[in-house]
Structure 1
Amino acid sequence: MTEVVLAFGEQRRLVGTISLPDRVERDAIAVLLPNTGLEHRVGPNRLHVYLARALAEAGFPTLRLDLSGMGDSTASDAADPSRDLVAAMDALESRGIARRFAVLGLCSGAHDAHRALCTDHRLVAGAFIDGYLFATPRFYLTYAWQRATDPARVLRKLSKILRVGPEADHADRSPVDLDFFRQPVKSEMKSDLAAFIARGIVLSYIFTGQVQHRYNYASQMTDAFPELRRYANAEVRYLIMADHTFSQDAMREELAGVLVGWMRRCADVIEGQPHRSAEAAASRLSPIRHFLSTGFLLP
């Protein structure tokens, strides 16, 4: 595997690090990994570095990039994450690395991934971690039961009634409740999903145990959107033992395994589509040759 820093986009103001397999097919599917929240492109707990390297080792070029005004990328008056992701695809396509792409995002990155999928048909797959969260009747029943049977919560409520523990009002707030994006209403989401399904996009929706206050059972996403249950190229995974930022090695390893599996399914699906010429399929490129003109090798 080789890692290269790349400057791209208008006035080369966007910066990313691409992890490249030792051998890259001309028509390989490349993965785009935008920022999470306000984090640098290394990701929380270096999560993006870990995922990019795991995907590259599995054969998928992966670009973790800083969006406009974040990390090492400079700001722009016309900043738009979707445009930044389009610029990233243009940069990789112009260098012969990929013509088809997958996009992967955590939290706000999942929102950016969703919007990009609506924008550019070169994207053939999307994975969304703790992204959009839609309640169902079963969610509310589970939520009420969890609250009623949680001893710590009962004690906090009693303390509040007895005016003991002035911080009780803040105890139930989740650290992942910051509003980094506007979630679409359900009708908008259904419309977007219909478009994704019509295009054959390979979808993976992943949820962690730290968002139980909004997602608290494995099939909540498919209960909210039954069309996903009927769609062969969609999966929903509930990593209940993982926290939102995958702070432990075992959490990161589990997530990487899920995502490598998602990309291998994507490759199988795309391979069955008539988009490659025999010449393109047989051609293999040196990743270093394509990037020496625009980036530099990391030590």
Structure 2
Amino acid sequence: MIYQERAVTFVCQEERLVGVLTLPEKPLGRGVVITVGGPQYRVGSHRQFLLLARQLAEAGVPVLRYDYRGMGDSEGKPRAFEAIEHDLRAAIDLFYRELPILTEVVVWGLCDAASAALMYAFQDSRVAALALANPWVRTPEGLANTMVKHYYGARLTRPEFWQKLVSGKINFAAALSGLLNNLRKRSAKEPQLEASCAFPERMAAGLEKFRGRVLFLISGRDLTALEFQEAVKSSPHWQRALRRPQVEWRRLEEATHTFSADIWRTQVGRWTIEWVKSW
């Protein structure tokens, strides 16, 4: 389907934000808002968000991607992902103004943008669904547990590791120090966190309160994705929040964190399109 792209600006708490609308010739009433995560802007790593927006628009799905305050071309000071709820709300406001046929939106986020979407969505009735790629739940204990289980454990079972160790190609002291350090972090009890800082729990609580559909997109070769899966396995709160029919999962075993290969990006786009048009 033919589509057009148009740059837009809008205001969030007296600061100017920049975005791009990708609008098909005959748009659906359900649009996708792509929120950036990490130190990047609306184009995305290796043009990921730009290509995703165009792929969706070719299928009739209108898209807005934007820079929140302090990122890309938007004004303001850089801010943590836990503090972008006003930016996301302003972006959705803009999307509705620019495309009056909209009836609901899907928020699509990668990494800490997925985390931010989970903490926001239940507060906005216009958000009907979330597409969440490799959500960020990092804590010192969570990272240490994942490293011990999936990195050190996997290395010890590989013959090439022992060959390198015997031949002196691996610094045994450094490797042992790293393992022991992660074991200490894994077993340490973290001080009680303030509610405003315990973002993984806020994510789980947000998911529990959100009544819409959720699609998790998981990479098989990604430490962040592994941390998320381990957090879910060890948390009754997460398991309870996920125990409903509106939650779906898609997994690409060979994919990296940002789905960096063209075949992975294209598959993620296909899954997103099929899911967005399934209700």
Q: Distance in 2 between matches of 1:39 and 1:229?
A: 29
Cα 1:154–1:73 change in 2 (3 A) is farther
User: 1:65 deviation in Å?
Assistant: 0.5
* Aligned pairs (5 A) from 1:124-139: 124-133=128-137
Cα 1:264–1:106 change in 2 (3 A) is same
* SS of residue paired to 2:114: helix
Q: Distance in 2 between matches of 1:141 and 1:202?
A: 33
Which is further off, 66-75 or 161-170?
A: 161-170
* Aligned pairs (5 A) from 1:3-18: 3-10=5-12, 13-18=16-21
**2:53 maps to what in 1?**
52
User: Residue 184 of structure 1 is aligned with which of 199, 216, 239?
Assistant: 199
* Aligned pairs (5 A) from 1:175-254: 184-186=199-201, 188-196=202-210, 199=211, 201-212=212-223, 215=226, 221=232, 225-227=238-240, 230-254=243-267
User: 1:222 deviation in Å?
Assistant: 7.2
Q: Distance in 2 between matches of 1:215 and 1:77?
A: 27
- Structure 1 counterpart of 2:23, one-letter code: L
User: Residue 127 of structure 2 is aligned with which of 101, 119, 123?
Assistant: 123
Q: Distance in 2 between matches of 1:67 and 1:169?
A: 40
User: Residue 147 of structure 1 is aligned with which of 146, 152, 155?
Assistant: 155
Check whether the contact 2:114–2:133 (CA below 8 A) recurs between aligned residues. Answer: yes
* SS of residue paired to 1:231: coil
Over the aligned positions, Cα root-mean-square deviation in angstroms equals: 3.8
User: 1:78 deviation in Å?
Assistant: 8.7
1:30 aligns with 2:31: yes
Q: Distance in 2 between matches of 1:58 and 1:202?
A: 20
Q: Distance in 1 between matches of 2:228 and 2:107?
A: 25
**1:114 maps to what in 2?**
118
Percent identity, aligned pairs only?
28
User: 1:246 deviation in Å?
Assistant: 1.9
1:250-270 CA distances to partner (integer Å, 9 max, x unpaired)?
1111111111122123xx1xx
1:106-147 CA distances to partner (integer Å, 9 max, x unpaired)?
112212222221432211111111114597xxx899636523
User: Residue 259 of structure 1 is aligned with which of 272, 275, 278?
Assistant: 272
User: 1:61 deviation in Å?
Assistant: 0.9
**2:4 maps to what in 1?**
2
- Structure 2 counterpart of 1:19, one-letter code: T
Higher relative contact order (CA 8 A, sep 6+): 1
Q: Distance in 2 between matches of 1:57 and 1:214?
A: 29
Q: Distance in 1 between matches of 2:132 and 2:55?
A: 17
Normalized against structure 1, the TM-score is what? 0.69
Check whether the contact 1:222–1:229 (CA below 8 A) recurs between aligned residues. Answer: no
User: 1:163 deviation in Å?
Assistant: 4.5
* Aligned pairs (5 A) from 1:260-299: 260-265=273-278, 268=279
Q: Distance in 2 between matches of 1:216 and 1:154?
A: 26
* Aligned pairs (5 A) from 1:70-85: 70-76=71-77, 80-85=83-88
User: 1:192 deviation in Å?
Assistant: 2.4
Check whether the contact 1:35–1:109 (CA below 8 A) recurs between aligned residues. Answer: yes
**2:191 maps to what in 1?**
none
* SS of residue paired to 2:105: strand
Cα 1:125–1:75 change in 2 (3 A) is same
Q: Distance in 1 between matches of 2:271 and 2:166?
A: 42
User: 1:219 deviation in Å?
Assistant: 10
Q: Distance in 2 between matches of 1:247 and 1:162?
A: 29
User: 1:203 deviation in Å?
Assistant: 0.2
1:232-287 CA distances to partner (integer Å, 9 max, x unpaired)?
2111222111111222111111111111122123xx1xxxxxxxxxxxxxxxxxxx
Q: Distance in 1 between matches of 2:78 and 2:266?
A: 38
